[in-house]
């Protein structure tokens, strides 16, 4: 019997995915979590073979959580199940230690294929994502500049695009305002922009979806 943990802050998603998995496979023990703290609590109580998690959960640093799980529980495979575009978030999650990235709009056949692979301790990649990794597809044939950002810079960008001020970002991330200001300056230099207005334009150009991310 394999233990699966479904982590999503929407109960209806957890329930739907649980029913699908029970329909696909016999003998799975399925647990649920609604945020990062609950994920870690479940890992302390159970041996988890597969973690299926959304990118955005309240009060959760999802990338940091994937990194932690991959280091502390190396035998656990993580499959990211998200509505956010894999061309923006896929590489980052794989680099953090995930073993697959499955868009929520995927067909049932593709969903079954992904779970078949990760439950066998294999990596799942969609055909579109394989092409992205191979460098065959890019936005307007140009390098996505958001891929050059560090994990912390990535967080700062999300919060800036959400309309938060420097002080509000500092409070959200438990940093000093001066530190956030330094990160903001560094981000603008990397992206070759001078204002949040230009940041928003760049985000639209590269389909950088920040609206569904919660902190």
Tell if the pTM clears 0.75, that is, is over it. no
Q: Distance between CA 81 and CA 153 in Å, rounded? A: 23
| Buried/exposed 6-19: b ≥16 CB within 10 Å, e otherwise | bbbbeeebbeebbe
The range of the structural domain enclosing residue 149 comes to 145-205
pLDDT band at 87 (very low <50, low <70, confident <90, very high): confident
pLDDT band at 79 (very low <50, low <70, confident <90, very high): very high
Show Cβ contacts of residue 156 under 8 Å, excluding neighbours closer than 6 positions.
169, 173, 180, 183, 184, 187
Q: For residues 110 and 95, which has the higher predicted lDDT (pLDDT)?
A: 110
The reply to whether 167 and 115 lie within a common domain is no
Q: Distance between CA 159 and CA 154 in Å, rounded? A: 9
Query: Taking 80 as the threshold, does the pLDDT of residue 163 lie above it?
Result: yes
Three-class SS of residue 152?
A: helix
Could you give the number of structural domains in the chain?
A: 2
The residues with which 33 forms a beta bridge, in sequence order, are 7
Q: What is the dihedral of CA 188, 194, 199, 202, to 10 degrees?
A: -100
Average of pLDDT values for 99-117?
94
In this prediction, residue 213 carries a pLDDT of: 42
SS (HEC) of 56-69: CCCCCCHHHHHHHH
Domain boundary among 80, 109, 133: 133
Query: Taking 70 as the threshold, does the pLDDT of residue 211 lie above it?
Result: no
In this prediction, residue 212 carries a pLDDT of: 38
**Rounded percentage of the chain residues whose pLDDT exceeds 90:** 58
The reply to whether 185 and 129 lie within a common domain is no
The reply to whether 52 and 149 lie within a common domain is no
Q: Distance between CA 84 and CA 105 in Å, rounded? A: 10
DSSP 193: -
Give pLDDT tens digits for 181-207: 999 999 999 888 988 988 887 887 677
Tokens standing for residue 175: 């940093």
Let me know if residue 119 belongs to a domain: yes
Let me know if residue 213 belongs to a domain: no
The reply to whether 157 and 201 lie within a common domain is yes
Let me know if residue 138 belongs to a domain: no
Give pLDDT tens digits for 11-23: 999 999 999 999 9
Q: Residue 45 maps to which CATH number?
A: 3.40.50.2300
The reply to whether 45 and 93 lie within a common domain is yes
């Amino acid at each position: 019997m394999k233990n699966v943990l479904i982590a999503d802050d929407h109960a209806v998603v957890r329930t739907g995915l649980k029913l699908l998995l029970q329909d696909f496979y016999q003998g799975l023990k399925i647990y649920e979590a609604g945020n990062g703290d609950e994920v870690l609590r479940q890992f302390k109580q159970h041996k988890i073979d597969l973690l299926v998690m959304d990118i955005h959960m309240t009060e959760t640093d999802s990338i940091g959580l994937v990194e932690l799980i991959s280091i502390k529980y190396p035998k656990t495979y993580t499959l990211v199940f998200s509505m956010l575009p894999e061309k923006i978030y896929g590489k980052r999650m794989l680099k953090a230690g995930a073993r697959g990235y499955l868009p929520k709009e995927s067909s049932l056949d593709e969903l079954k294929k992904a779970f078949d692979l990760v439950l066998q301790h294999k990596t799942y990649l969609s055909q579109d994502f394989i092409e992205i990794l191979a460098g065959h597809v890019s936005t307007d044939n140009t390098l996505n500049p958001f891929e050059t950002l560090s994990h912390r810079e990535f967080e700062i960008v999300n919060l800036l695009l959400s309309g938060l001020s420097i002080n509000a970002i500092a409070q959200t991330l438990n940093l000093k305002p001066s530190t956030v200001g330094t990160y903001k300056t560094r981000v603008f230099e990397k992206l070759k922009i001078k204002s949040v207005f230009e940041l928003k334009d760049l985000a639209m150009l590269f389909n950088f979806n920040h609206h569904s991310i919660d902190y």
